[in-house]
A = this chain, B = another copy of it.
Amino acid sequence: MTRKLEFWFEFGSTYSYLTAMRIADVAEAHGVPVTWRPFLLGPVFGAQGWNTSPFNIYKAKGEYMWRDMARRAERYGLPFRRLPESGPGAFPQNGLAAARMALVGIDEGWGEAFTRAVYAAEFAEGLDIADTNLLMRLTEKAGAQGDVLARAQAQANKDRLKANVDESFRLGIFGAPSFIVDGDLYWGDDRLEDALEAAGK
Contact = CB atoms under 8 A, between A and B. Distances in A.
Interface residues on A, range: 20 to 34
Residue in A60, A63, A64 whose Cβ sees the most chain B Cβ within 10 Å: A60
Given A64-B174, A174-B64, A187-B64, A194 B58 contact: no
Given A67-B185, A68-B187, A185-B67, A60 B173 contact: yes
20 contacts: A48-B58, A58-B174, A60-B172, A60-B173, A60-B174, A61-B174, A61-B175, A63-B172, A64-B172, A64-B174, A64-B185, A64-B187, A67-B184, A67-B185, A68-B186, A68-B187, A68-B191, A71-B194, A75-B194, A190-B190
Nearest to A72: B194
A168 to B, nearest CB: 10
Given A64-B174, A64-B187, A71-B194, 7 more contacts: A58-B174, A61-B174, A67-B185, A68-B186, A68-B187, A75-B194, A190-B190
Interface in A37-83: 48, 58, 60-61, 63-64, 67-68, 71, 75
Nearest to A174: B60
A175 B64 CA distance: 11
Ordered nearest first, which 10 A-B pairs have the shortest CB separation? A60-B174, A61-B174, A190-B190, A60-B172, A48-B58, A64-B187, A64-B185, A63-B172, A64-B172, A58-B174
